[in-house]
C-alpha cells in the first residue's frame, strides 16, 4: 500500500503524492445514502466569520454512515469499498440479510464479498463489532462508543486504532492513538481492526490549488502584518516574534496552551493524559 508519485514535469508535480486508491472497489455512491451538505465557510448563525481561512472548495454530498452498529446480532455482506470526501478513511457499503444497505467505516483489509458481523458472539475479525466486554485484552479496535447506543465517537480517522489495555471492576481501559488511557463502559460497542487508508499521512498536495479544492483559503503570516493587525507584526525586515512564545492575533498562546477545562466532568475517566511522558 503506497501513494502514487509523479515525475517532476512541473514545480507542482515535483513533490506531489496522491492516494493510490488500491482499496477502493466501488466508484459511484449509493444514492439513497446521500444527503445535502451545506457550506457555512466558517460563519456562525449571525453570518460572522468565527473560523478563519475557510470557504470555496469542491461541491460534495454527505454519506450517511452507520456509526451505531446495533447491539443485536446481525450479519452483512460487503458490496464495495468507496472513497468518502467528508473523511480521511474509506467507507464500506454493506447489505444486510433483509436487503437494507448501510455505510460503515471500512477497516484495513476489508474487501468485496467479505461478511461483517455485529453482536457479542461475533468472531475477533476485522470489521466485526462487539461489546467491549466480549473483546479480548490487547485487541486493536476503532469506532468506539462513549455512551451505549449513541454510536462510535472515538478513533475514526484514517490509519488509526486504539488498544484495549485492561478490563477490571466493571470498567475497560483503552489506550487511544494520542497516548491517552481512558476508561470506557464495557457495554459500549467497538469495531475490531485498524481504520483503512493508512497511506493518507503520506499524501502531499503539491500545489496551492489542491488546498483550495479542500475549502481552505490562504493564510497570511502574522510576522508580515503591521503591529495593529497582529502581535507578531511590525519591525524592520524579518523581525523575531518579540514575545516569550508565539501568540494568536488576539494574544492567546499559540503553542502548547492547554484548553481542557480542569473541572470537566469527564476528567475522572482519564487514567493517563496524552501529555504525560
List the chain domain ranges. 4-201
β-pair partners for 159: none
- The predicted pLDDT at position 1 comes to 55
If DSSP states are collapsed to H, E and C, what string results for the chain? Answer: CCCEECCCCCHHHHCCEECCCCCCCCCCCCHHHEECCCCCCCECCCCCECCCCECCCCCCCEECECCCCCCCCEEEEEEEEECCCCCCCCEEEEEECCCCEEEEECECCCCCCCEEEECCCCCCCCCCEEEHHHCCCCCEEECEECCCCCCEEECCCCCCCEEEEEEECCEEEEECCCCCEEEECCCCEEEECCECCHHHHHCECCCHHHHHHCCECCCCCHHHCCCCCCCCCCCCCCCCCCCCCCECCCCCECCCCCCCCCCCHHHHHEEECCCCC
Which whole number is the average pLDDT over 241-251?
Answer: 94
Do residues 231 and 246 lie in contact, with contact meaning Cβ atoms separated by under 8 Å? no
Which whole number is the average pLDDT over 146-171?
Answer: 95
Q: Give the span between the Cα atoms of 147 and 189, in whole angstroms.
A: 9
Residue that is written with C-alpha cell 446495533 in the block: 70
Domain 4-201 -> CATH class:
mainly beta
Q: What is the pLDDT of residues 178-210, one digit of tens each?
A: 999 999 999 999 999 999 999 999 999 999 999
- The predicted pLDDT at position 116 comes to 95
Which whole number is the average pLDDT over 94-100?
Answer: 92
- Phi/psi class of residue 250: alpha, beta or left (left: φ > 0; alpha: ψ in -120 to 50)? alpha
- The predicted pLDDT at position 2 comes to 75
- Phi/psi class of residue 19: alpha, beta or left (left: φ > 0; alpha: ψ in -120 to 50)? beta
- The predicted pLDDT at position 3 comes to 84
Q: Give the span between the Cα atoms of 98 and 122, in whole angstroms.
A: 19
Considering only residues 70 and 270, tell me which one the structure prediction assigns the higher pLDDT.
Answer: 270
Read off the pLDDT band of 73 (50, 70, 90): confident
Q: Give the span between the Cα atoms of 79 and 60, in whole angstroms.
A: 22
Q: What is the pLDDT of residues 110-146, one digit of tens each?
A: 999 999 999 999 999 999 999 999 999 999 999 999 9
Read off the pLDDT band of 71 (50, 70, 90): low
- The predicted pLDDT at position 69 comes to 81
pLDDT of 276 over the 90 cut? no
In whole numbers, what is the pLDDT of the chain averaged over residues? 94
Q: Give the span between the Cα atoms of 149 and 84, in whole angstroms.
A: 24
Q: Give the span between the Cα atoms of 108 and 23, in whole angstroms.
A: 8
Which whole number is the average pLDDT over 227-240?
Answer: 94
- The predicted pLDDT at position 72 comes to 73
**Phi, psi (rounded to 5 degrees) for 211:** -65, -40
Q: Give the span between the Cα atoms of 142 and 190, in whole angstroms.
A: 6
Percent of the chain with pLDDT over 90: 88
Percent of the chain with pLDDT over 70: 99
Amino acid at each position: 500500500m503506497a501513494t502514487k508519485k509523479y515525475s517532476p514535469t512541473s514545480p507542482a508535480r515535483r513533490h506531489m503524492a496522491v492516494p493510490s486508491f488500491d482499496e477502493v472497489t466501488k466508484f459511484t455512491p449509493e444514492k439513497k445514502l446521500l444527503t445535502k451538505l451545506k457550506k457555512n465557510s466558517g460563519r456562525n448563525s449571525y453570518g460572522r466569520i468565527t473560523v478563519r481561512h475557510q470557504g470555496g472548495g469542491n461541491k460534495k454530498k454527505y454519506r450517511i454512515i452507520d456509526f451505531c452498529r446495533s447491539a443485536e446480532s446481525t450479519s452483512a455482506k460487503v458490496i464495495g469499498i468507496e472513497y468518502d470526501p467528508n473523511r480521511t478513511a474509506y467507507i464500506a457499503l454493506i447489505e444486510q440479510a433483509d436487503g437494507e444497505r448501510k455505510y460503515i467505516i471500512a477497516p484495513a483489509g476489508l474487501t468485496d464479498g467479505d461478511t461483517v458481523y455485529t453482536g457479542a458472539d461475533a468472531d475477533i475479525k476485522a470489521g466485526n463489532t462487539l461489546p467491549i466486554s466480549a473483546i479480548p485484552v490487547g485487541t486493536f479496535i476503532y469506532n468506539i462508543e462513549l455512551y451505549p447506543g449513541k454510536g462510535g465517537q472515538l478513533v475514526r480517522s484514517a490509519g488509526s486504532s486504539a488498544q484495549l489495555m485492561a478490563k477490571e471492576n466493571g470498567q475497560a481501559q483503552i489506550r487511544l492513538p494520542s497516548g491517552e488511557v481512558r476508561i470506557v463502559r464495557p457495554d459500549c460497542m467497538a469495531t475490531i481492526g485498524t481504520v483503512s487508508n493508512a497511506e493518507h499521512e503520506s499524501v502531499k498536495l503539491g500545489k496551492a490549488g489542491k488546498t483550495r479544492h479542500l475549502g481552505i483559503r490562504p493564510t497570511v503570516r502574522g510576522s508580515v502584518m503591521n503591529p495593529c493587525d497582529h502581535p507578531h507584526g511590525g519591525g524592520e525586515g524579518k523581525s523575531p516574534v518579540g514575545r516569550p512564545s508565539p501568540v494568536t492575533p488576539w494574544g492567546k498562546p499559540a503553542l502548547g496552551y492547554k484548553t481542557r477545562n480542569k473541572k470537566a466532568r469527564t476528567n475522572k475517566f482519564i487514567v493517563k493524559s496524552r501529555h504525560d511522558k
